[in-house]
Amino acid sequence: MSKLSDPRRAPRSAWGRFLAGFTYAFRGLWYALRTQRNFRVHTGVALLVIIAASLLRLSPIEFALVAVAIGSVFISELVNTSIELCLDLLHPEYHPLVRAAKDVAAGAVLLSALLAVAIGVCVFGPHLWSWWHTLRH
């Protein structure tokens, strides 16, 4: 449990602290969804990809690859948001190192998204090609 949590509200038992961790995690996800436009965009794209994966009946391995790609984008976006929030708190005025750190974190999100696109092309490409040829004949 984070030292920043309000100790008056912290559960006393180990099991209670464990369960409280899920509350904090869901609160973080909800914060990102509410406040981060890119997180909402990634969520919408992920939902469309999951629907397409279901319609195209991806194999379990293909679906796992897609799920890992989606997860990596969400994880990198959450880490990027955390870095930006911390830097804004610690150094609210412009500083070239703060900008560089934020740019590097954004670069991680970009690389993660590009990897997800590459995985999507490799996984969905053959299915879409087959579907397209079925429509044409």
- Contact 127/120 with Cβ under 8 angstroms? no
102 in a known ligand binding site: yes
pLDDT of residue 12: 76
- The reply, when asked if residue 17 is annotated as ligand binding, is yes
Contacts 24+ apart (CB under 8 A), 45-51: 46/70, 46/73, 46/74, 49/120
Tallying the residues shown for the chain, one arrives at 137
Across the range 120-131, mean pLDDT stands at: 95
Q: Which two tokens stand for residue 31?
A: 């914060």
The gap from C-alpha 18 to its chain's centroid, in whole angstroms, comes to 23
Q: Domains in the chain, ordered, with CATH?
A: 37-125 (1.10.287.3610)
* Model pLDDT for residues 16-72, shown as the tens digit of each residue: 889 999 999 999 999 999 999 999 999 999 999 999 999 999 999 999 999 999 999
Give the residue numbers marked as catalytic.
77
